Structure 1
Amino acid sequence: MKHYHYIFTGTGLAALMTVYEMIRSGKFEDKTILLLDENPKQTNDRTWCFWDENKNFDTIVSKKWDTAYFKNENFERAMMLNPYQYKMVKGLDFYRLVFDLIAKQKNIHFVNQKVIDFQELDNLCVVKTETESYSCNQIFNSVFNPQKVKNQTKYPLIQQHFVGWFIKSKEVIFNPECATFMDFSVTQKGNTRFMYVLPTSETEALLEYTLFSKELLPKEEYETEIKNYLQKLGVTNYELMEKEQGSIPMSCYPFWNQNTKNILNIGSAGGWTKASTGYTFASTIKKSKALVQFLITETDLRKFHKTTKFWFYDLLLLDILNKKNELGSRIFSAMFQKGNPTVIFKFLDEETSFWEDLHVIWKCPKGLFIKAFLQRILRFRF
């Protein structure tokens, strides 16, 4: 049984970002690292977007926007994002960047095998695939097990689920300098539903019909809503270039309680997804950098996680959406209608001071959050 210092079970965004940061640090050249995944990561299976005021991954950013658009049935607002930019990264471009770097490292290996089990024994960890077993000092697991969240009721689970179409229109219809961050003018049907539009030219865009809700829809319903939205925009003649779909868990479940001294859950499996929005890329950049710095000086993986005030803010929003899912439009609209966009995005990026937090929070419906706060405190006590 071959032995490694570190094994990554699954090579999603969190695993690849962490390995990328390990290589860049230059501190792990004496450590053997194995990545295991049944998916070879050779297709463009997803698109990540994030707001950023630095130059993170600019070499593979396929499009940037300085302005974002918010809309509901009553108002619309174009927001300058300065000092931020909204950026789009295609999955395949990210995979190629990281795997090209991995290929140059003698101590890092990728094996295209499906992980079926892993465990921590007395003085080592063992990972089993369908064909082999490997041992290691420590495991970084990004294989998400939804049953852990579904089998409890203390922390709600909401899904950010969507179907996206990349289309090329015959009509000149889009503004390539402005991304539609949320358009709640679509019929809500008792849920939190919005359209998300990322134009890359006057005739090309990614349109995603997105929900924050408990249950997924039949695929045909997402696509019907995209067709209706295109018709509303005046797009009647277009070519469907590519499709994508996904479902991202949004939960404040304490995944880190499953960590052990030598097994750390990362990515969605470790609660790295921003629970109130479903955004993963920016939070994963931060978490992976922090993890690499942690590993340079620490060995007990149970010490890595730190709970912040933003975890509690997110929990209150999910409590509200779990009970009254139709209120999402009202909450986000209140935040964006008169709020300072720079402070809002800073808040969503978990970079605000407490006083800046209040500037955002007080824009939201106060009664909803006060009630959620009191109910949550009672749940914690009893």
Structure 2
Amino acid sequence: MRKTTYDIAVVGAGCAGYQLLYQLAQQPAWSSWRVLLLSDGVPLQRSWCFWGTDDHPLQHLVTKSWTDIEFQSPDFGQTQPIAPYTYHYIAGEAFFRYFEKTFLPANPNIQVVQAEVRELTQANRQFTLVTEDATFWAKQVFSSRHQTPVRPGRWNLSQHFRGWFVRTETPVFREHVATLMDFRVPQQDAVQFAYVLPFSDNEALIEITAFSRAMAYTTVRYDDMLADYISRRYPGVMFSVESTEQGQIPMTDYPFTRFGPAGEMLLGTAAGMVKATTGYAFRRIGHDCTQLANAYGNTQPADWPITTGRFRFYDRLLLGILTEQPGMGLNVFSRLYRYTSFRQILQFLDEESSLLAEVSMISRLPYVPFLSQLVKQWKH
């Protein structure tokens, strides 16, 4: 039996794996590469959001965009335009339909195998990938398999959420305004807020999101919170739930590495591309995949967009506060949105702000929990 060695094997047909394949396909030598895509066949029931000042490479998959952002708390609320940024939404269904029905058939050099990788090793500059029914070989492996570290970071929270796609009988939503945080929900033992993305004046995705040590709530708990929030924010409005989405995202200060145990190149969550204090990852993953593809195609060196330096320091401070004092979350975010323009907040979250702007922003936040956390982390 003839042994086939692939030039590239991609483990994981999700957000990172597909974005990497898309960027690899832009390389001059793409058609000459033999590519293996290994998928466990488990679909993700979620969508992705990101903001930007220019078009994303997958802009054609954007379902809806918003020019204004809203923040609400029990004693403060504000809506602001975010130009030059625009906030975008890509539906999971649209994302996977494009790659499975359009992209893969248009690239016959990709062989798709529905199988879970049981073992991955490297010897003599060649990788061996073992599944339940077969063995494959590749010169390079990119993997988005995320495994919980044996020794996790000091601060480890879970951002978990459940949302309803609703349709109302009467128009109630402002179609151009996305509500990123509405803290007018019970805080209990975690940082909890509602998230509203209107697709029209009577259609929207409404989610309950929590930052907590618990991995997730029961479906009943999410649904009770969603029903209560909708009844209070849109009293008397009749609505139907068309579909749902649910998921969870790690929020950790774990020092991620670029390579896995066998020397494979890690992608997405496994490579630390999730912003530790927000859970946003789509744009960071896209940038990383572009860099990796260009480096593999020898068109330019890679620039790993992992959080480092002072931004990692900021993330650790906030993670420490949200872990040890979740009740402070409402106060921290309320003061942040009250005293800082939303455009500046997005620039800060993109890690593109100036040190002077950061000092000005942080000086307006409640200083006691940050100083306390600073002392604890310095001692640690």
In the superposition, the TM-score normalised over structure 1's length comes to: 0.91
Residues 13 and 76 of structure 1, relative CA distance in 2, 3 Å threshold: same
Mapped to 2, the partners of 1:259 and 1:179 lie a distance apart of: 37
1:309-367 residue CA offsets vs partner (Å, 9 max, x unmatched): 32222122112212112222221111111102111101111222222322332232233
Secondary structure of the corresponding residue to residue 297 of structure 2: helix
Q: CA deviation at 1:131?
A: 1.2
Residue 21 of structure 1 corresponds to 23
Aligned-partner Cα distance in 2 for 1:90–1:33: 26
Equivalent runs, 1:1-382 vs 2, <5 Å: 1-39=3-41, 45-56=45-56, 57-99=58-100, 100-146=102-148, 148=149, 151-152=150-151, 154-215=153-214, 216-232=216-232, 233-256=234-257, 259=260, 262-297=263-298, 308-309=308-309, 310-379=311-380
Q: Is the 8 A contact 1:169 1:235 kept in 2?
A: no
CA apart distance, 1:23: 0.9
RMSD in angstroms over aligned alpha carbons? 2.3
Deviation at 1:84? 0.7
CA contact (8 A) 2:39 2:116 kept: yes
- Rounded to whole Å, the distance in 2 between the matches of 1:252 and 1:313 is 11
Q: CA deviation at 1:237?
A: 1.8
Q: Which amino acid aligns with 1:193?
A: Q
Contact 2:185 2:192 in 1 (8 A): yes
Structure 1 segments of 4+ aligned residues over 6 angstroms from their partners? 298-301
The CA deviation at 1:269 is 1.2
Quick one: percent identity of the two aligned structures? 28
- 1:263: how far off? 0.8
Query: CA separation in 2, counterparts of 1:60 and 1:298?
Result: 26
Tell me the amino acid that sits aligned with residue 93 of structure 2.
Answer: L
Contact in 2 for aligned 1:191/1:327 (Cα 8 Å): no
2 CA distance for matches of 1:106 and 1:35?
A: 12
- Amino acid corresponding to residue 198 of structure 1 in structure 2: L
* Partner Cα distance (1:322, 1:14) in 2: 28
- Per-residue CA deviation, residues 230-271 of structure 1 (Å, 9 max, x unaligned), is 111225421110011001111121220653684122111111
Question: Does the Cα contact within 8 Å between 1:169 and 1:237 map onto a contact in 2?
Answer: yes
CA contact (8 A) 2:273 2:305 kept: no
Change (3 A) 1:58 1:9: closer
* Structure 2 CA distance for partners of 1:288 and 1:258, relative to 1, 3 Å: closer
Alpha-carbon distance in structure 2 between the residues aligned to 1:321 and 1:275: 12
Q: After the TM superposition, which of the residue ranges 93-102 and 322-331 deviates more from structure 2?
A: 93-102
Q: State the Cα deviation string for residues 100-154 of structure 1 (Å, max 9, x = none).
A: 22322232222122222212234311111221111112221111112x1xx4364
The gaps in structure 1 that reach 5 residues or longer are none
Bigger shift: 25-34 or 256-265? 256-265
Whether the aligned pair in 2 keeps the contact of 1:294 and 1:304 (CA below 8 Å) is no
